Structure 1
Amino acid sequence: MRCIYRVWHLPVFLLIVSLIHEAQAQKPPQPPHFIKKMDKEVELQFGPINRFVLECIAHAEPLPLYTWFKNEIKLENNTAGISLISNLEHSQLEFSSPAPEHEGFYHCEAENGLGKAKSTVVHVTSQISKPAKGTSAPVFIRAPESELPSVGNTAKFECIAEGKPDPQIVWTKNGEVLPGETGNRLVLHNIGPGDVANYACNASNIAGYEYKDVYLNILTLPATITEGPRDQVVSKGSNVTIKCKTEGFPLPTISWFLNDEPIQGSDRVKINNISGDLSIVNATVEDAGKYMCEAKNHGTMSKVGSLVVKSKTEIISGPSDLYVEVFSSVTMNCTVVSDLSEELTVIWKKNNVDLGQSIYGENQRISQDEKYSLVIKNITLADEGTYTCVAFTDSTASNPATDSGLLIVSGIPPVLAPLPPIPHQLEGGDINLECEVTQGYQSPQISWFKNGLPITSENNVKINHGTLSIKKSVPMNSGEYSCKAVNDWGTDIKGTKIWIRKRTQILSQPVYVEYSAGNGVMLDCNVEVDASLRNSLNINWFKGEEMLRVSTVSLVPLENSVMYDVEEEEETRFMMHQNNSLQILNLQEEDLGFYKCQASTELEQVLRSEPSQIYLAANFPYWIIILILVCLIAVMILIICVWRVRKRNRGKGYYGVKDVEKNGGKHNKSDIYYNTDDVDSIMNEQDNNPNTSTPKFTPKTIRHLSNTEKSVGSVSSLIENEDERLARGMDEDGSFRERYSD
């Protein structure tokens, strides 16, 4: 029974071992890093009773090899008093009998093919040091963490420590210092296999240090074939390349198979280890078959393609029916396989007519490339037709390979630029809408529509070369406008809306109200506004240039009655009704002045009414009338005085009574003519009016007569009688026309 039991356990044991090895084999590779931390200082006490152990444990794939160092010198297994115990899992230094010569600095290193990790440095000493007063060893606030980015990405390590004095940061890679990396962050861009390693941050000052190592690995990706073999038909004797482009990490290995048999490289068949491509030189019929590319890392992927080798002339990819627009370019394929030992000829026909040798020029609009394809640039409507590729060799000239395709060329349907949105407009302005054709061949016909109906040039609407113009717009011009472009290849329509609003008007006329203390006043503000602008209408009242704070009065229906609801923030004597009228209660002298209402809408900023006035009445100024009368009388008196002085200064006239003036200024023979001019003799005084016998006396004549003796003739009596007669005439008829004096 015991023997049977052992035999039964043997395959189980082998299965378990196999599973363990398989699991280990499936682990992704990883650089080493330490998972157990050693003390920075260990007190050295002598004697076997004080034995101690330093242990290093690192994680890595594949498993690492360990090496110990004392004072940066590699320790050998035969070091006195120290036993080195290492395996694939960990490594130990056992101090079985500590002695003074064991004092020093110890560290271990773990290394595999992906990197090397360096442990904390342990100071084995008989005297434990203490930090100086006022100092403290660094402590990590944020320690670096292992990173696992994908290929091509960025890795970031962060290391922040505090201490007194401030610690200095040093970064290492695989135990070697990275020059210039002394900041809190280590950034690695465009990660590749060369960046996979062990990284460590060391923060130190005079009081001590803090150390942590981590690893950077690349995220493993299973093998993927991004471009594999494709089906190909080639000519006999041609060179063939079969693609196998892969991705993955670790980098996949590539294997090739022909008809499920591994392909071995030769002088004619070669495998590129970098790109993975398979190349065949001078292909033969025997090279035909199914080719498989297999990519493998911790995952596997494969793709298959067939290869056909032709020795007979054959068009394997000819022209197909194409529908293209003018001005574009097109390539019509004609891929031909044949026996390359014979000369191959390929020509093109259009509508069964040879295109001729002109198509072979490099600068021609229609040309043939090195793969026999026909290239047509800047296509026109005339290029439409049936194109035929004809291929033959010397042995197949009587039975050439042919393939045809129909080329249909269309114009370009019109495309219009969007019409800009038109904001609401006030009447009277001009509007221009351009119907811009961004593409189209042949040129499209442009037409305009309003609310779906065609528009013609009339009244204030004009259409000129596709541009719609509205002059001095009115509300009747409002509507949905659309521009339509049409040619043989299509139609395009773009539209916009135009809304013309009537201008706001204040219809109320100014009023002039006499001030009466304590009474109320109502000032109207009747505003005519477009219905669409009514919601944006805003009315304000001004006294002079100062806006009034008014309360709003609204009508609130209550069953069968109506009451006023006054909305106000504080008590005020100014109230504005729903019809925008301003009511002023309890008039006071401070209310005297000019009042205007101001209307504004979303389209009109300021519109003010003519000013109304509340004025203070005054008593009629009668004293002004009296003053005016006094001034008029004074002026009249002044005029009369001036007139008399001027008359008197003339020195000529008649003595007569008032009836002379009443008879139109005529005088008779009884009037006395006088003259103030003095002449030498009375005999020399001449009558200016020979037709009258009116007596003429001058001062000199009168003096002469007065000096004459009265007894001489009747001269004296004449004078005396004359004086009496003059006195009587003045008593009877009033004053003389002129007064005489010497």
Structure 2
Amino acid sequence: VQQQYEIRVYDDFVIRMNTGVLRCHVPNYVREYVIVTSWVRSDGFIISNSKYVAFSTGELHVRRAGPEDSHHSFQCQTKDTLTGAVTSSITAGKLVITEPHSSIPAKVIHWSRQVDGPQGSAVFIPCEAQGHPQPMYRWYRQYGGRLMPQLPMNEPRLVLVGGTLVLRRATVQDSGTYVCVVSNGAGAEEKNEIQLLVTEPLEVEMRPRVQEVRSGETVTLNCSVSGFPVRSVTWTKDSRPVSAGPALRRLVLLNRYALRIQAAQSQDSGLYQCFAGNERDSAQGHAYVRVKSEPPVLVSHFEESVVRREEPVSLRCAATGTPLPQITWSVYDVQVHDSGQVRVGDYVSRDGSVISFVNFTKVRLEDGGTYRCEAANEHGQDSYSARLNVAGPPTVQPMANRTVVAGRKLLLHCPYSGYPISKVIWRKGNLPSSKRVMPYQNGTLALETVSRNDDEGRYSCIVRNDQDAEATNQLNLRVLVPPSITPFSFPEKPQLGSRASVTCSVPEGDAPIRLSWLRDGVPISSSSSPGVTLGHVDDFISTLVFKSLREEHTAVYTCLASNEAALVNYSAPLVVYAPPRWRLEPADATVTTGERVVLDCQADGTPEPRVRWKKSAGVQSTEFRTVISSSRMQALVNGSLVIQEIETSDAGGYMCEASNGVGLPLYTVVQVSVHAPAKVRQRFLSHMTGKGQTVNLRCDASGDEPIHFFWSKDSRPIKTFSNPRYTIKDSARPGSPSSDFTILLAEKNDTGAIKCEVSNAYGHDEQITHLSIQDRPDEPPRPEVLNVVSRSVTVLWKSPSDGNS
């Protein structure tokens, strides 16, 4: 949104043959993004020669100012960097040339604490002064606490233009502290320090742009930064700071330009960025790290086989993957470990495969069964199973009793051995197992959605061969029933101070059942939660009772029910609706015109209150109108009202209203009092009259009364009692105070700069009038003959007074 603003240039008084400084005044609220681009003289002259020096900060120097420079006015032009709009100043400033009649100490009128400029450009360091005689300048640069003279200069890149030190083709090495010393013999020296910062655009590069590594390897990322100054260097991974997250222990900053990833894992893959920045510039470089990761694949495995007892047997599996997988062995879900007759081990082959084996020194009948090898890493798993058949009669190993939670799937394995085997049969009690269960040929029994009534009991596994030899073994299956909670909820939109309760009921589940409550995930009790009563009707019902709801009761409440089978929960939110209340109530404000004022207004409540501002229609009016945001007045998201460069018309009552639909709206009215500092109507004037005439100079002021007037001439107070030709008369008319300075029978020595200073409790201002009393020029003095030759005479005479004509 384009903001409307006005820029101005005011007149400036300058002592003849000194440097005049005109300033382009840009409002504070747009100064951040408005730049001064050029100056225009009233006659169309292009301001470019060495007489003029324009600064990016908005100043124009007019060197060796003389009467001819007072005939022109100057306007500045600005550009809005956001919209590109070009604006000219609505006023044009002039130079008012004053004649010195006595010595005036040198005084610096334009300098900057810090000057910035890009490398390779010409940098202007201002230290402009006025005085009579003309000021002299000495420049120094600070090196390690010592001041080294910069003038006279042997460095051709350094040029002194008036009081401005110009540094051509500046480099970052020129950055530092410069000291300007000004004097003219009429007073004490004046010294100023200026910080010069020569900047170079920041550039960041990371090489290589893409790094591909294997899991477990170390990666080093280097960040090359060029440019000046480099204030900060930060690192991110996938737009998050590298210092955050579980990978912190693997990510190590060797220095601010190098990041190391130790033992890289797949989650370390991603986009890494290095950011370099300073107060005005930033840049970033990036690199992509790809950590190779592959899920395991079994590339070879053992096959089903038949062996004789007492023979040596070896089962082998080989797998690949990144990172290298771990291979484990099991038989009927029981892990295989080293024992006296069994050896389990692995190694890595030359091609990078993991070889794992199970070796039997002398295989036994009971070693027969279904063996499974499983390869796993962080990216997946692969498995294979096959039977090792040991020739011999049927046998079934003892089976452990099983406990399962109702509703889940269960696989029962029959750990049989012997070869050949013709049948594997499962029975429950004295009857064959029901049609609902699914027996597999490998001796596994699958029970889908286990039920206590149907599936709990004793199971037998019977194994037979072709000679009708058989073996059997049993296990007991116990089925546990987990708790179930009946859904509950709190009343809709409960109000502050009302009552509420919820009941957690458990209709199913094995006893004993333990009931408890959480508030936002934290266990609660009556002692730890004021205003909340916990009640247990019986072992299966618990209640929460709120006798008087408060805002702090707003939370998510969870009922936990647990027994031997499982822990279950159910949650419901409670939101207590509360009317607005002040968190930060607005207060009256007293300011002066041009200042920035912030009226804070923040309210709490549920739901979050909406804050609106209104302004009274008049000083005594009780009617309020909604404040509409503008370039000077904005209502912020946090509820505050900001008024930029406040004016007297902004004074009055302001109402802040907070409402959220619960209860009555909350509002308060504050008064903003705006005081006006003393100001003169016209800051620069010139007046010319003849000798012997009566001179009347008026100084009109505005601002809060009382306003005081003080007159001076050429910086010396005007004393009417010591000069009967001078009179000063103040007028205290309400709303338009003024003061008149009258000179009777004006004389030539009345010429000078007449200053009227106005002041009140809130500020001060001044009006300067260049008074010129004209008289007829003096007669030239008698000429003096200096030299006579045959054909010429050299004559000298002094220039008489021109009578200010």
TM-score when normalising by structure 1:
0.26
Structure number with higher strand proportion = 2
Q: Say which one has the larger Rg.
A: 1
